Amino acid sequence: MTPPVVSREDWLTARKVLLAKERDMTHQLDALRAERRRMPWVHIDKPYRFEGSKGECGLGDLFGDRDQLAIYHFMLTPGSDHICSGCCFVADHIDAARQHFEQADLAFAAVSRAQLQQIEKVRRRMGWSFPWVSSGDGDFNYDFGVSFTSADRAAGRAIYNYGLVIQNSPDMFGISIFTKDREGAIFHSYSTYHRGVELVMGAFNWLDLTPKGRNENGTMSWLKLHDEY
């Protein structure tokens, strides 16, 4: 439905009403972000191993010389030809963002179960340069709730996003945040999944400013890989 067309004065009145609500929501978000930063940490003592373009590495290596690490759990299943358009949408934002958050003591890496050759094929097609490693057959994806064995899916034990039972997909997506102390001990501070990942989808924030919004007929219904539009 098309909104009414009004005078500039009436538009300004409506805009100020909305602005008050926006300011209130901004303050609520500020409080929520502060609460997120106060979340307790979990010490990571499992020696996770990955394969990257420079060879085998551990979780600590992904930090580089920074004290914080953001992991994007990229939904890329070993041997599958499917490339998740939603994960690619997220990934399209990463290289630009890294120019800034890597100056604020935050490293980044994507992690998938797919083998490195499969990862590199997708990376070359999409033109991304961020670090992207394979967790292979290791426990990392399973421990952080984005991969599920066939047995767990069949038994209803494949739990995603803290409560959603996954029946079909062996891999899902999400974001996990890690930090380390001066002695090099690594801690898990936060993970978010499903719509929580919208936090890093900058294009959505632009679309949300417009009359058509995300212009969806079903969630992300128009979305394609950026070389398919």
CATH number for the domain harbouring residue 144 = 3.40.30.10
**Structural domain span for residue 168:** 41-201
Q: For the segment 111-166, what is each residue's pLDDT rounded down to a tens digit?
A: 999 999 999 999 999 999 999 999 999 999 999 999 999 999 999 999 999 999 99
Q: For the chain, which residues score pLDDT lower than 70?
A: none
pLDDT score at 86: 95
Number of domains in the chain: 1
Q: Is residue 45 part of a domain?
A: yes
Contacts of 64 (CB under 8 A, 6+ apart): 107
Distance CA 154, CA 192 (A): 24
pLDDT score at 177: 98
DSSP state at residue 3: P
Q: Is residue 3 part of a domain?
A: no
Distance CA 186, CA 181 (A): 7
Q: Is residue 216 part of a domain?
A: no
Q: Is residue 21 part of a domain?
A: no
pLDDT score at 17: 98
Exposed, middle or buried: residue 150 (CB in 10 Å: 0-12, 13-18, 19+)? exposed
- Give the helix/strand (H/E) hosting 165: strand 164-165
